[in-house]
Amino acid sequence: MLNNNSSLIYDSCIQLGLSMHSAKVYECLLVIKNPNITKIQTKTNLDRRIIKNCLNELTLRELIKPKHDSSHKIEVESPLKLQLLLKYQEIESGIIQSKLESFLPKFIQNQDQYNQNQLVKVFLGQKQFENVFNQVLADNPTEIRHIGDEQSFLDLVSWNYYRVWIKNRIRKGIKVRDLTYPFRQVNEIMQLDKNELRETKLLPKNFQIQGSIFLYNKKVIFWDSELPKLILIDDVATYDMQSNLFEILWMLI
């Protein structure tokens, strides 16, 4: 621990949506004098390439002052700036969450009516869920986007199934963008992001979604972790609406 407030600083960085490496680098910048990449590497034991990526992320998130000349000087913002960014994010998250809740299609609550039009299909149980996600890969989308609680999904389908599914996805060249809450295997997954054709961003803890939303090939999957129930919606208007909300969140986090 770099100092008595290290854990609080690190947790705040994660809540802001920074990667774990960037949170570690920010902690380090607060305690070393005249920081440079060599000093950061000595303190954190991180690879220089990773450190440079972290510095870029911290600059984008306004926790490092942007350079206006060719110097290598690194000017870190104080924890007060971190606190202000968290407050701003809390306000933004509340607005986005309110919009998300208001935009969720009403026919989820009236699924029987829409099942008749075959816009909505409902699946229950682990085996049906696995069949649906195998079919997602069979549909050969260019990209799959996910937002929500990945841990509850893994608890149902198993870690082994998920790893096999990832290998099959990579074999097909299907990319993923993932907005998820921190979970047990998130460190392992994020370290493999590049090799597994995936970008992962962590949702702030105050942004709560029950279950998950998956977007692909103009289709939407709503995964309810409480029931558990999976709803597959084949509707362009619903897809476009959820797609726009996802992109807004992706830019904000």
Q: CA separation (Å) from 242 to 42, 72, 156?
A: 44, 42, 24
- Tell whether 72 and 179 lie within a shared domain: no
Mean pLDDT of 207-229: 82
pLDDT for the residue numbered 107:
42
What is residue 146's predicted lDDT score, i.e. its pLDDT? Answer: 94
Backbone angles phi, psi at 202, to 5 degrees: -95, 130
- Is residue 129 scored above 70 in pLDDT? yes
123 and 45 belong to one structural domain = no
Helix axes 126-138, 150-157, angle to 10 degrees: 110
Last residue of a domain, one of 77, 106, 131: 77
The CATH number given to whatever domain includes residue 120 is: 3.30.870.10
The CA distance from 98 to 89, in Å, is 14
Please state, in angstroms and rounded to a whole number, the distance separating the CA atoms of residues 174 and 197.
Answer: 7
Q: Please check whether residue 209 is in contact with residue 96, taking contact to mean a CB–CB distance below 8 angstroms.
A: no
Q: Are residues 97 and 44 in the same domain?
A: no
Q: Based on the domain organization, do 70 and 154 belong to the same domain?
A: no
Instruction: Give domain status of residue 85, yes or no.
Output: no
51 and 121 in one domain? Answer: no
Q: How many helices (H) and strands (E) does the chain have?
A: 11, 7
Q: Which of 49, 77, 105 is the last residue of a domain?
A: 77
Q: Where are the beta strands (DSSP E) in the chain?
A: 120-123, 143-148, 175-180, 198-202, 212-216, 219-224, 229-233
- One domain for residues 98 and 64: no
**Domain end (from 27, 53, 77):** 77
pLDDT for the residue numbered 80: 87
Per the prediction, the chain carries an average pLDDT of 82
In this structure, the answer to whether residues 247 and 122 fall within a common structural domain is: yes
Q: Are residues 118 and 215 in the same domain?
A: yes
Q: Report DSSP state, residue 104.
A: S
User: What's the number of domains the chain is made of?
Assistant: 2
Whether the full predicted model's pTM is greater than 0.85, yes or no, is no
Q: Check: CB of residue 55 under 8 Å from CB of residue 74.
A: yes
Same domain (yes/no): 71, 144? no
What residues make up the domain containing 233?
92-252
